[in-house]
A and B are shown apart, each in its own frame.
Chain A
Amino acid sequence: MAATFTVLYFASAHTYTGKSEDAVPGPMAVSKLFPYLEEKYPGFRKKVLSSCALSVNLEYVDLTEDADKEIQNGDEVGIIPPVSSG
C-alpha cells in the first residue's frame, strides 16, 4: 500500500486548493493535519479550515479530543466545510 492517506476537499476547500484530493504521507496525528495543509496552501487555515470539521473513514473526529489519534496510510480523510443543503 502506498505510504499515504487521501484528503478530500469539498466546497470552499475544493475552491481554495483547486483540487478534489491530495495524497498525504502518513501516518499523521490529527493535530498535525491542518498545519501541514496550511504549509501546502498558505492562508488555507484561516480562510477555510478554521470553520471545517474532519472525517476519517466516514466518521467525524473531534479536533481537540482526537488530536492524538493517528491517521493511517490508506485512510480517507474528508475536509467538511459548513453544510448548505436544502
Chain B
Amino acid sequence: MERPFTGIKSLETPSTYAALTYDPLDISAAINRVRSPKAGAIVTFIGTTRDNFQGKQITTLEYTSYPPLSLQTLSKILTSLSTPSLHSISVIHRLGIVPIGEDSIVISLSTPHRAEAWQIAQECLELVKEKVEIWKREWFADGGIWRANRDGAEGVQETEDVPVEFLEQEDR
C-alpha cells in the first residue's frame, strides 16, 4: 500500500480547513477546530466504512488520493460554501486501509444559528463526494473493485458498454 506522506496534510484559510491523513480521525479535534463564541451551532457529519455493498460482504476497504489535487479541490469546495453565516468549516478525509466501522470522513462546521449549519453540511458532503479526487477500493472475497460515486462527473465520458467500476483482474 502506498503511503505518500505521514501525519496530516492540510490546506487552510482563516475559515476553512481541508485535510488528509492516513491516521485514525480525531473527531474531538475536528469539532474544536470550528468551535467559537461567535457561533452557536456546530454540526458534525461522520462517514464510517460499511461492511457490505448491496449485501455483498466487504473484507477490506482502502482509499487512495492525489493529495495536492484532492486538497486543492476540497479547499475550493469549502471556500465556495463560505457565506456570512458560515463561521468555520473543516473536512478531514482518511486514506489507506480503513478498518470496517471506523471513520473515513469528518465534516464539522459552525454557524451563528442551527438552520444553516444543517444545510451547509449536507451541501458540503454532496460536493465532496462528487468532486474530491479520492478513490475507494472495496475488497470482497472474490476480488476488489474501484467504486464510483456517480457517473458523468466533470470531464468524464460515459459509454454504455464500459462500467465505471473496473473489476480487479488479479487475486490478492
Q: Which residues of A contact B146 (CB under 8 A)?
A: 11-12, 15, 81, 84
A53 to B84, CA, bound (A): 34
Q: Closest B residue to A85 by CB, please name it.
A: B134
Q: Closest A residue to B2 by CB, please name it.
A: A20
* B26 close to A (CB within 8 Å): no
Q: Which residues of A contact B93 (CB under 8 A)?
A: 85
Q: Which residues of A contact B166 (CB under 8 A)?
A: 12, 15-16, 47-48, 81
A27 to B159, CA, bound (A): 29
Q: Closest B residue to A63 by CB, please name it.
A: B155
Total contacting residues, chain B, CB less than 8 A:
43
A12 to B166, CA, bound (A): 6
Which of A11, A46, A54 has a CB less than 8 Å from the CB of B137? A11
Looking at chain A's contact residues, the main secondary structure is: mixed
Binds A, one of B30-38, B112-120, B125-133: B125-133
Q: How far is the CB of B162 from chain A (nearest CB, A)?
A: 5
- The answer to whether A11 and B155 have CB atoms under 8 Å apart is no
Binding site for A on B (CB under 8 A): 2, 47, 63-66, 68-69, 72, 93, 104-105, 125, 128-137, 146-151, 153-159, 161-162, 164-166, 168-169
Binding site for B on A (CB under 8 A): 8, 10-12, 14-16, 20, 46-48, 50-55, 58, 60, 62-63, 78, 80-86
